[in-house]
Structure 1
Amino acid sequence: MVILDLISQHFTKMSKSQKKVANYVLEHPNDIALYSAAEFGSKIGISESTVIRFSNLLGFSGYTELQKLVREQFFKESSLTSYQQSKMDIPKDISFHKQVMEQDRESILATMNQIDDVAYQAAIQRLSNAKSVYVLGLRSSYPAANWLSFSLGLVKENVHFIRPETEDVIRTITQMDEHSVVIIISFHRYLKETIQIAGLIRNQNSYIIGISDSILAPIHAYSDILFPIYAANKSTLDAVSPLFSFMNAIVAGLIVEQKENFMKRQALYETISGHFLFEEGKNPL
């Protein structure tokens, strides 16, 4: 759904000030793409809080989500171009790495603030009670899905990493039911294969947890819960830090919820000698 559709859908519910925002967004999308909520409000003579309430009325968790959608719809550069440009804008000096990492910290903070506490707790409960858990992520989302499935597998049994390139996905989907939870990671550019698989999973009545870069990403149509990950640009590269931080929060929440089960699995791991797999590190002199 494009921004025009959203504004048209909610226009009659808007206050006079919010309608002023709506009209300005449609006429000058560049401004909302470039300015903060406070700067944008000051530019058209309204308060920052009005801009934020306008964003919430359209269904966004905050102004940054609205800004992200506007950028995606009105600026057509590729995600890699967007990522490259954002890094080129950073002054190249001795503290370059600190500035890049500071951007990551800000993205983590923004993601933390827009994750709904009730939705998070509901997701943890579903994962805890699930008889089986599946994780799907393709292309740029593949490494994250791989890490998440491995980490969840340390906490509970029957965690599966879906690999369409090496397995019969249809057969895997037929094993899912209402007692299954499926985590689907999907970022811009949104792969059709991911969305098509999500549609098939939906028919199995499994519970779907979506993780994406926007509440209006295509995966939202199939998700019971959708967690938005903030990134300053469209690139999945910029979302890596907040994405892994949030996935770590999911694993940690499940460990707390499944404390006894986790300790049993940990003890089982420790009974198996790993001397032929792992090398002990040496202490620095």
Structure 2
Amino acid sequence: MKLKELVHEHFHNLSKSQKRVATYVLDHPRNVAVSSAQEIGAMIGVSETTVIRFCYSLGLSGYSELQKTTREQLLFQESSLHTYQQSKLELEQAPHFYEQVMEQDCRTIQETIKQINETDYETAIDQLSKAQTVYILGLRSSHAAASWLSYSLGLVRPDVRLIRTEAEDVIRTLSAMNDQSVLVAISFHRYLKETIRIAELARDQQAYVIAITDSLLAPIQAHSDVLFPIYSPNKSTLDATTSLFSFMNALVAGVSVKEKEHFEKSQQTYQSLNSDFLFVEGAEKQ
């Protein structure tokens, strides 16, 4: 099993100090590869014993095996974009290329399903349903997903706002948040400091923070009330896109069922408006 998957599997059973070691190992593999357990402990602010116990918690024989595994699996990884392309080149010679790619996406969704905690999902739906205002945040590579979620969630409940850092005073937006607010923050590798900082400030305002990211160890986990890890075979939003949108669709579906009466009333109002000037009917087939 890969080290990253091993850490994720055992993460919930680790002590608070060991979780700090786990995060450091995945974020700073070069330091782990060249430093002793004592030095790593000093960098993190934990004891050498804690670092070694972390290794045992993963089923490793000790720190030497952790270093060896880190060098092999983390230190020499290619960039996520290169990995993405390589995984597709492997399918190039297979028949029905598009079918192979889409089947990979299906497997990614299946892996994401295994990672989602149903209790957390139900809690998130409840929070999204009863919130006075829902804010959606996703920057750079996560912006398209945030925009889609803002639009779709806005169809099934009122007062959903997409945070646009380039066009609004974020501090003013944050100052309007309170314990009746929910922030959905989408944060994928490479993790933007701005997203994490906004999530932190939102919690300071007593807002409920739902994080959607690619790892239980992602930096935003420290500032979220509930976190949903989206599976990706590499650190890239490209391969995570299908499962990300599938999960966001599950959030929208959950709220639409929870707020059935409001959704139906909104649909009736929408359909009663004269919108002929907006749409053109397609030509009928002869």
TM-score by length of 1: 0.79
CA contact (8 A) 1:187 1:236 kept: yes
Bigger shift: 101-110 or 3-12?
3-12
CA contact (8 A) 2:55 2:66 kept: no
Q: 1:28 aligns with which of 53, 58, 69?
A: 69
Label 1:13 to 1:241 Cα distance change in 2 as closer, same or farther (>3 A): closer
How much has 1:279 moved relative to structure 2?
2.4
How much has 1:21 moved relative to structure 2?
8.2
CA distance in 2, matches of 1:121, 1:136: 21
Establish whether residue 87 from structure 1 lines up as the match of residue 55 from structure 2: no
CA distance in 1, matches of 2:152, 2:226: 20
Question: What residue ranges of structure 1 are gaps of 5+ in the alignment?
Answer: 34-70
Label 1:17 to 1:263 Cα distance change in 2 as closer, same or farther (>3 A): closer
CA distance in 2, matches of 1:253, 1:9: 41
Establish whether residue 201 from structure 1 lines up as the match of residue 202 from structure 2: yes
Establish whether residue 178 from structure 1 lines up as the match of residue 200 from structure 2: no
Label 1:75 to 1:262 Cα distance change in 2 as closer, same or farther (>3 A): farther
How much has 1:244 moved relative to structure 2?
0.2
Q: Indicate the percent of aligned positions where both proteins have the same amino acid.
A: 49
CA contact (8 A) 1:186 1:211 kept: yes
CA distance in 2, matches of 1:92, 1:13: 42
Label 1:22 to 1:257 Cα distance change in 2 as closer, same or farther (>3 A): farther
RMSD over aligned Cα, in angstroms? 2.4
Q: What is the count of residue pairs matched by the alignment?
A: 245
How much has 1:253 moved relative to structure 2?
0.4
Bigger shift: 261-270 or 14-23?
14-23
How much has 1:191 moved relative to structure 2?
1.0
CA contact (8 A) 1:79 1:188 kept: no
CA distance in 1, matches of 2:58, 2:167: 54
Establish whether residue 235 from structure 1 lines up as the match of residue 236 from structure 2: yes
CA distance in 2, matches of 1:259, 1:240: 28
SS in 1 for 2:228: strand
Establish whether residue 222 from structure 1 lines up as the match of residue 223 from structure 2: yes
TM-score by length of 2: 0.78
Aligned residue number for residue 103 of structure 1: 104
Question: What residue ranges of structure 2 are gaps of 5+ in the alignment?
Answer: 1-22, 26-31, 33-40
Label 1:86 to 1:175 Cα distance change in 2 as closer, same or farther (>3 A): same
Matches within 5 A, 1:38-117: 71=74, 74-75=75-76, 77-117=78-118
